């Protein structure tokens, strides 16, 4: 049986508004569209499932219209929801304002997705080879303590993957140290790596991030449309990207992470998994909505039309 991608993070309903620009404080702006999507952890799991991996959500989902939307989306994508529904409380929302540049701004509420326990997470029953994904946003209260209790108890054969988001830099240092001590895989954008290390260049940041992790940990640092850098086995490699004209960058990082981890669960090497994740991110930014990652076949078709022989940027040569 193949390894699984298990996500412990918050499944939220993304309320997406396309706006001409962000309103000034106290002013108004009219949105061109309004759409509700399954987002948050679901975006990563959709990407993993469409790649062909077994995708599992270990987080909490509420009872109400938002929870119903999430359950329906996960059922449609064949994502396993293992924890019981949270009674008498609905899942929260994330308001996403998308500008014409495809940049997005978030306002998030708390709801049933924060009602986790070490016991509810344990319903996912991770086994050897599984990849357990943790978001830095779960290191806020009230999810922080049950999450750390659980991940610190996982067997060594389970890989803990940290997607820090912007949250890690805001947390007390001791919390970050505890999480990093059990992290087997770090995957982030360049800004998030810089916030941990103070290093701006993503090539050098890979090595700097690795110094905060256990020996042998894998580090992936995304460099937007330029691709990503992957540090594995003590060596850092550049994996080229596929720049596109974006219409919506919301969920692009999630698509990258979901495909990266799914490919690893299927036995793909880290560098090839990163190449396919870069392609998936390139396809996703041409689509509206957070959970719109391509299928594995669509990634194959995309890569078949691209020439992959390209040296690393001179300033970042190995």
Return d(Cα 212, Cα 177) in angstroms, integer.
8
Return d(Cα 296, Cα 83) in angstroms, integer.
27
Q: What per-residue confidence (pLDDT) applies to 306? A: 84
Is the confidence at residue 18, as pLDDT, over 50?
A: yes
Q: What per-residue confidence (pLDDT) applies to 308? A: 60
Q: What per-residue confidence (pLDDT) applies to 104? A: 86
pLDDT, mean over the chain: 93
pLDDT digit string, tens, across residues 265-305: 999 999 999 999 999 999 999 998 888 999 999 999 999 99
Peptide bond into 261 cis (omega under 30): no
Return d(Cα 214, Cα 2) in angstroms, integer.
25
Looking at per-residue confidence, does 291 or 258 come out higher?
258
Is the confidence at residue 146, as pLDDT, over 70?
A: yes
Over residues 58-76, mean pLDDT: 97
For residue 132, list its beta bridge partners.
6, 160
Return d(Cα 92, Cα 98) in angstroms, integer.
19
Q: What is the DSSP string of 26-68?
A: T-----SEEEEEEEEHHHHHHHHHHHT-EEEE-S--BSSHHHH
Q: What per-residue confidence (pLDDT) applies to 72? A: 97
Buried b (16+ CB within 10 A) or exposed e, 152-186: eebeeebbbbbbbbebbeebeeebbebbbebbbbb
Instruction: Specify the pTM.
Output: 0.92
Instruction: Output the CA–CA distances (angstroms, integers) from residue 269 to 3, 112, 260, 265, in the order listed.
Output: 14, 37, 10, 10
Q: What is the DSSP string of the chain?
A: ---EEEE-S-EEEEEEEE-SSPPPTT-----SEEEEEEEEHHHHHHHHHHHT-EEEE-S--BSSHHHHHHHHHHHHTT-EE-SPPBTT----EEEEEE-TTS-EEEEE---GGG---HHHHGGG---TT-EEEEEGGGGSTTTHHHHHHHHTTS-TTSEEEEE-TTTGGGS-HHHHHHHHHT-SEEEEEHHHHHHHHS--SHHHHHHHHHTTS-TT-EEEEE-GGGEEEEEETTEEEEEE------S--TTHHHHHHHHHHHHHHTT--HHHHHHHHHHHHHHHTTSSSSS-PPPHHHHHHHHHTS----PPPGGG--
The tokens describing 90, both together, are 């609905």
Is the confidence at residue 317, as pLDDT, over 60?
A: no
Among the listed ranges 57-61, 230-234, 310-314, which one has the minimum average pLDDT value? 310-314
Instruction: Output the CA–CA distances (angstroms, integers) from residue 142 to 39, 59, 218, 306, in the order listed.
Output: 20, 13, 28, 45
Q: What percent of the chain has pLDDT over 70?
A: 96
pLDDT digit string, tens, across residues 92-142: 999 999 999 888 899 999 999 999 999 999 999 999 999 999 999 999 999
Write down the residue that tokens 């692009």 correspond to. Answer: 252
Q: What per-residue confidence (pLDDT) applies to 217? A: 98
Is the confidence at residue 219, as pLDDT, over 80?
A: yes
Is the confidence at residue 145, as pLDDT, over 60?
A: yes
Q: Would the CA dihedral through 281, 283, 284, 286 be positive or negative?
A: positive
Over residues 210-237, mean pLDDT: 97
The answer to whether the CB of 23 falls within 8 A of the CB of 76 is no
Q: What per-residue confidence (pLDDT) applies to 268? A: 96
Confidence of residue 150 (pLDDT cuts 50, 70, 90): very high
Q: What per-residue confidence (pLDDT) applies to 248? A: 87
Confidence of residue 314 (pLDDT cuts 50, 70, 90): very low
pLDDT digit string, tens, across residues 82-105: 999 999 999 999 999 999 988 889
Over residues 213-242, mean pLDDT: 96
């Amino acid at each position: 049986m193949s390894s699984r991608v298990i996500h412990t993070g918050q499944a939220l309903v993304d309320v997406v508004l396309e706006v001409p620009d962000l309103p000034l404080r106290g002013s108004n702006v009219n949105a061109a569209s309004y759409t509700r999507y399954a987002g948050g952890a679901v975006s990563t799991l959709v990407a993993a499932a469409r790649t062909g991996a077994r995708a599992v959500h270990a987080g909490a989902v509420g009872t109400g219209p938002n929870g119903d939307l999430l359950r329906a989306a996960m059922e449609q994508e064949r994502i396993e929801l293992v924890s019981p529904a949270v009674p008498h409380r609905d899942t929260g929302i994330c308001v996403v304002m998308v500008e014409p540049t495809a940049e997005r701004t978030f306002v998030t509420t708390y709801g049933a997705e924060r009602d986790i326990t070490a016991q509810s997470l344990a319903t996912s029953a991770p086994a050897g080879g599984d990849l357990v994904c943790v978001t830095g946003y779960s290191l806020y209260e009230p999810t922080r303590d049950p999450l750390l209790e659980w991940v610190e108890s996982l067997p060594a054969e389970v890989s803990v993957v940290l997607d820090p988001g912007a949250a890690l830099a805001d947390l007390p240092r001791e919390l970050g140290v505890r999480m990093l001590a059990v992290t087997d895989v770090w995957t982030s954008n360049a800004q998030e790596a810089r916030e941990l290390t103070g290093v701006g260049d993503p090539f050098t940041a890979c090595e700097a991030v690795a110094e905060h992790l256990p020996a042998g940990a894998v580090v992936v640092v995304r460099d937007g449309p330029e691709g990503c850098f992957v540090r594995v086995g003590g060596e850092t490699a550049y994996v080229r990207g596929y720049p596109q004209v974006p219409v919506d960058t919301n969920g692009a990082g999630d698509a990258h992470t979901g495909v990266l981890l799914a490919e690893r669960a299927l036995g793909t090497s880290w560098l090839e998994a990163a190449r396919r994740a870069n392609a998936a991110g390139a396809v996703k930014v041409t689509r509206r909505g957070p959970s719109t990652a391509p299928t594995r076949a669509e990634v194959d078709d995309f890569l078949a039309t691209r020439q992959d022989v390209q040296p690393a940027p001179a300033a970042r040569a190995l």
